[in-house]
């Protein structure tokens, strides 16, 4: 089945530093990748949609200069949280889509990254 | 009003009971419907997907979609303590498009 690998699973960083999160589709080509943010006991909030080779499309209210998304290949997308602050602490999850329907290869999620900014 | 509404629960059932979950939505453009299970601090895991209206069964899981009522359901038969998790419904307008999630229902299956 489709596998999406997300790293790191957990990261603690100091306020003001930048953190990069990687999302890789291991056995399929991800034409589209989605980045979500999830607060405790809440649902997933879509932050941005990225298509390989194109600029990401950010949801309303998401600062594109703060959350940099790169989707340089069909198997890798990265989210960089720049100048992180404690309010950026959250659970970040990526999802990859092959664009070929809602089956196993339709939407596959990574295991998430818990970011804590101290 | 949210596009997708889902009762947050928690829903507590005894082991072996049927778990019944549902979502309502307002946008008739949604065509693909999914149910995900999420354990604490993990990424969502796809359980079921359905295209347009109809029923689908996979093992202990049955998904139903009624587009005329804008209502989807997930039933879990013979529930186990390992089914204790948060269940999220999600839907999209086209293949590969962004998903719109419900708020999730927390389920607790007691031994």
Q: Rounded to a whole number, what is the distance in Å from the CA of A39 to chain B's nearest CA?
A: 10
- DSSP letter assigned to residue A87: G
Which pLDDT belongs to residue A99? 66
Search chain B and give the residue with CA nearest A94: B43
Say if residue A14's pLDDT is above 90. yes
Residues 6+ apart with CB under 8 A from A55: none
- pLDDT for the residue numbered B53: 85
CA A42/CA A19 separation, integer angstroms: 23
For residues B76-92, average pLDDT: 96
Tokens 């979500």 -> residue = A36
**Cα(B94)–Cα(A10) distance, rounded to whole angstroms?**
33
Across-strand partners of B65?
Answer: B54, B72
Chain B partners within 8 Å of A100 (Cβ): 95-96
Averaged pLDDT, A37-65: 91
**Mean pLDDT in residue range B37-50:** 91
According to DSSP, the β-strands at B11-14 and B105-110 are: parallel
Average pLDDT over every residue of A88-110:
79
Residue B65's region, left for phi above 0, alpha for psi from -120 to 50, else beta, is beta
pLDDT of residue A106: 59
In this predicted model, what pLDDT tens digit does every residue of B9-42 receive, in sequence order? 899 999 999 999 999 999 999 999 999 999 988 9
Nearest CA in chain B to A99: B96
CA distance B14 to B41: 24
Residues of A in Cβ contact (< 8 Å) with B102: 43
Q: Are A102 and B45 a contacting pair at CB < 8 A? A: no
pLDDT at A56 over 70: yes
Kindly indicate the confidence band of residue A101, based on its pLDDT and cuts at 50, 70 and 90: low
Residues 77-116, chain A, touching B (beta carbon < 8 A): 91, 93, 95, 97-104, 106-112, 114
């Amino acid at each position: 089945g489709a596998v999406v690998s997300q790293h790191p699973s957990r990261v603690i960083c100091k306020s003001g530093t930048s953190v990069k999160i990687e999302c890789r589709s291991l056995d399929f080509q991800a034409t589209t990748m989605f980045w979500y943010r999830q607060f405790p006991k809440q649902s997933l909030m879509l932050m941005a949609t990225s298509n390989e080779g194109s600029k990401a499309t950010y949801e309303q209210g998401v600062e594109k200069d703060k959350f940099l998304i790169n989707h340089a290949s069909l198997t890798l997308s990265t989210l960089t949280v720049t100048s992180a602050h404690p309010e950026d602490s959250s659970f970040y999850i990526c999802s990859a889509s092959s664009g070929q329907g809602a089956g196993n290869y339709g939407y596959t999620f990574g295991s998430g990254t818990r970011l804590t900014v101290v | 009003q949210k596009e997708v509404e889902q009762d947050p629960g928690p829903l507590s059932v005894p082991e072996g009971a049927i778990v019944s979950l549902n979502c309502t939505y307002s946008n008739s453009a949604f065509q693909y419907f999914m149910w995900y299970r999420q354990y604490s601090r993990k990424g969502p895991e796809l359980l079921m997907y359905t295209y347009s209206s109809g029923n689908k069964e996979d093992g202990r899981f049955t998904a139903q979609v009624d587009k005329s009522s804008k209502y989807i359901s997930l039933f879990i038969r013979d529930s186990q303590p390992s089914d204790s998790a948060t269940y999220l419904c999600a839907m999209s307008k086209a293949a590969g498009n962004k998903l719109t999630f419900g708020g999730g229902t927390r389920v607790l299956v007691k031994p």
